[in-house]
Amino acid sequence: MYNIDENNLVYERDEIEVNEWRCVLNDSAGNTLCNMIAEINADSTINYTASYNKMLSYMSEQTLFEKIVIASESPGFSSPAAKVWVGGEMQRCDYLVGEDSAQPLVDILEQRFPAYQIHQSEVNVIGSYGPYREGYTAESSISWYDNFPSAPWGYPPSRPPLLKYNIDYANVYTHIQFWTGYKFNLSDNTIQVKVVHHNPLPTVTYPPFVDGQIHTYYARLHNEDGTVENFNDMFFMAEADDVESYCTEHNISSPLTNTGVDPLSIMIYGLVFDGTTGIPNMMKAYESRNVLPT
């Protein structure tokens, strides 16, 4: 978390809206770091605690962004290709579909599931995995994420899943991310669809946030019989130390323990949780592989 001495905050009236107060944070040289609208009580006095917390949250987010920008100087950092770490072990490696290492997995899907256009986007990713988390039961499965970055923000994907999955983009998933995950069970040829969305769902109980957590979104697994898995995902950015503290507090394994992975290479964290109780079940870390589409 970013640290701010509340005594360093300055409150001043807005130059245009005279009934509005501004909360200002300056550095030691007097340069303005942030200037935002102060929080006001019902009696029109300044709510100093709420204003301080608002400034703290904003500056923490900006500090985290700066660290990510510094760490992600290579364009390949923004690629969705990643190594997925859980409990100090790599559980999946996602390849861009154009990489040589992806070809054996692409071949399997094209032979066994020919209806899916694996190469339709150069930033689609593919990886193999086992039953490392709740909701994944097969000994051998292939994960394929179909990206559609040209689709309008928040709209249904241009290549929606089949109706049998009972996915309601009109009333349930009203603000989705621009990719959909497909989980191919190689034991029985069933497929799960992972819907990635921004809007919290009223039927799901969510876990507590990690301290300083930003850029939060969620995911749910839909089965071919129309049912939905109870274990959900919450994805977010956060400081590595805050993620470690959260794992300790909730008695789950830290994803990077004894791995030697640089926390600044982590693009996103993912928390698996019980959708009925909101209890955290597993923490994942997605390490950038820093590769570009070919």
pLDDT digits 0-9 by tens, 16-38: 877 889 999 988 888 898 899 99
Interatomic CA distance for residues 294 and 292, integer angstroms: 6
* Mean pLDDT for the stretch of residues 175-204: 94
With left for phi above 0 and alpha for psi between -120 and 50, is residue 289 left, alpha or beta? alpha
Least confident range of 71-75, 104-108, 132-136, 222-226: 71-75
* pLDDT value, residue 69: 55
Average pLDDT, the chain: 89
What's the residue count for the chain? Answer: 294
- Which of residues 106 and 8 earns the better pLDDT score? 106
pTM of the model: 0.78
Mean pLDDT of 178-199: 94
Pick 194 or 69 by higher pLDDT: 194
* pLDDT tens per residue across span 133-146: 998 989 999 999 99
Res 151 pLDDT > 60: no
Place of tokens 């006001």: 40
Average pLDDT, integer, range 39-51: 92
Angle, alpha carbons 85-89-90 (nearest 5°):
55
